[in-house]
Amino acid sequence: MKKLSYLFLFVCIFSSLQAQTPCENGTAGIFPCEGYDLISQIPLSTMNSVKANDSWGWTDPMDGKEYAIICLNEATAFIDISDPLNPLYLGQMPGESSQHTTWRDAKTYSNHVYVVSEDTGHGMQVFDLTRLRNVASPPEIFTPDQVYSDFGSAHNIAINEDTGYAYVLGTTTFSGGTHFIDITDPVNPIAAGGYAVDGYTHDAHIVTYNGPDTDYTGREIMVASNETEVDIVDVTDKGNPVTIGTIAYNNVNYTHQGWLTEDHRYFILGDETDELNTGINSRTIFFDFEDLDNPQFHFEYEGPTGATDHNGYVKGDKFYLANNAAGLRVVDISDIENAVATEEGHFDSYPTNDNSGFNGSWNVYPFFESGHIVISDRAQGFLLVRPSEVLSTEDVFLETTVSIYPNPATTEVTIASTLISIENIRLTDLSGKQIYVSGEMEENGFTLDISTFSAGIYFVTINNLVTKRIIKQ
């Protein structure tokens, strides 16, 4: 039998609402859940806000620190989550208008964040995120480094980080269509034209295309959600954008937002008001983009509740959906080719109900390398969650050779094996701080005393692979 290297294991200990709370027996504190733990929370009151809306994230390339960007009715908030157990609210950048609307949106490029709002006369704020490295006395009030003012209010912004272009959506320019901005010099944005042919654009995903349709390889392609239809547009030449195709589908209510799979083969769309208007369960629509000139309906996925879908994103073979009153829903799309999608877990940030309407999670951000997921909830503010189990590719091997008991645990937990020699154990918290290092080991197992540990989630390293968590009650 080969020697095991390092093995990580969650030891999850129950704590208060705003700290680590494992998902156990279908809840994490007050929140319904399956497979996702609450790591931390910052309420709206801490951010001096009445409502949260959109969100995004930034990872500092200098040191790998992760930051959450939370859009509020009044401002944009910045949160250092490098210690996920103890997130630090750094402060906020107020909007450019005294009028506060429900809509604010932010995206990042080259260590800068670009913020738009439906506030009258807001324009696009530009903020250098590296300023967050040295915040002397948080929380602070930040000012933007630049404000682009070729439009006033806007509903949304999308950015293609490959090309350095921002696409501002729902302004009074270009008939509410797409307003192009060159941001390759991040703090000096330059107007670059726009696209008005298909009218108002509510949201869009823009990529440098590398999908199955070789006619468009390397082209900059925008897939726009335009209220009543999906439009595919070649925006490579900003002076001459060209419509490739328009997609209609059944039961159109409000074509809201969608995201391409990483191979650019499929587009996953949410219609925002079909649940509200027709009483159906949450509906997600999959299109096959094998031929961009002739996109095809592929299948529909029905969620387990009647909640209204909002924003959804793809990372790997998972679709992460902000499902309003049903919170974060995570759908396995690994068998998308065969028209199969299956919910694998959820974290419901709105425990009151799962009805249609505009309550609960507005947005989720699932792209951090750490695996932490940001939820921006209208009433709960900022929540940070992560999968309950961290597994390795050798999980089957571990499950058949290592036993962990009791589970749940109270004062101690035993890790044992009849097949391998357990040689060392090291305990760290989620921020990487070392809590404990073992002394002499037993031949095939070890009993770890956790009675004096503070409440929290820990990694137990045993030799070099990953297995499931245990819970202390």
Query: Residue 44: helix, strand or coil by DSSP?
Result: helix
* Token pair in block for residue 382: 């900022």
| Angle made by CA atoms 403, 408, 414, in degrees to the nearest 5 | 35
Contacts 24+ apart (CB under 8 A), 118-121: 118/153, 118/154, 118/155, 118/170, 119/95, 119/153, 120/152, 120/153, 121/96, 121/97, 121/152, 121/153
d(CA 160, CA 192): 14
Q: Strand 470-472 to strand 10-13: parallel, antiparallel, or no bridges (unpaired)?
A: parallel
d(CA 190, CA 181): 6
**Mean pLDDT, 10 residues at a time, the chain of 473 residues:** 36 45 92 95 97 98 96 98 93 95 97 98 98 97 98 98 98 97 98 96 98 98 98 98 96 98 98 98 98 98 98 98 98 98 98 98 97 97 89 59 77 79 74 70 71 75 65 61
Question: What tens digit of pLDDT does each residue of 239-281 get?
Answer: 999 999 999 999 999 999 999 999 999 999 999 999 999 999 9
Domain with CATH 2.60.40 in the chain: 6-10+392-472
State the DSSP code for 24.
B
pTM above 0.75, yes or no: yes
Query: How far is C-alpha 460 from the geometric centre of its chain's CA atoms?
Result: 26
C-alpha distances in Å from residue 449, one per residue of 269, 314, 410, 423: 49, 40, 10, 17
> Is residue 350 within 8 Å of residue 361, measured between CB atoms?
yes
Which strands, in side-by-side order, build the sheet including 156-160?
156-160, 165-169, 178-182, 190-195
Would you state the pLDDT for residue 15? Answer: 33
d(CA 373, CA 35): 13
Domain with CATH 2.130.10.10 in the chain: 26-387
Number of C-beta neighbours around residue 302 at 10 A: 12
- Quick one: CATH architecture of 6-10+392-472? Sandwich (2.60)
Would you state the pLDDT for residue 394? Answer: 58
Cβ-proximal residues to 78 (8 Å cutoff; 6+ apart), any chain: 67, 68, 69, 70, 89, 90, 91, 92, 93, 129, 132, 142
DSSP per residue, 444-472 = SEEEEE-TTPPSSEEEEESSEEE---EEE
DSSP per residue, 74-86 = SEEEEEE-SSTTS
Cβ-proximal residues to 353 (8 Å cutoff; 6+ apart), any chain: 325
Instruction: Give yes or no for a cis peptide into 139 (omega within 30° of 0).
Output: yes
d(CA 263, CA 207): 11
**Residue 35 burial (CB < 10 Å; 0-12/13-18/19+)?**
middle
Question: What tens digit of pLDDT does each residue of 389-399 get?
Answer: 755 555 655 66
d(CA 421, CA 171): 64
Residue type, 392: S
The candidate with the shortest Cα–Cα distance to 201, out of 241, 236, 173, 182, is: 173
Determine the straight-line distance between the first and last CA of the chain, rounded to whole angstroms: 35
Longest dimension (CA), the chain: 73
Q: Strand 178-182 to strand 190-195: parallel, antiparallel, or no bridges (unpaired)?
A: antiparallel
Sign of the C-alpha dihedral computed for residues 386, 387, 388 and 393 taken in this order: negative
d(CA 153, CA 172): 7
Residue type, 289: F
d(CA 445, CA 2): 17
Would you state the pLDDT for residue 7? Answer: 38
Would you state the pLDDT for residue 467? Answer: 60
**CATH class, 26-387 region:** mainly beta
* Token pair in block for residue 356: 């249609």
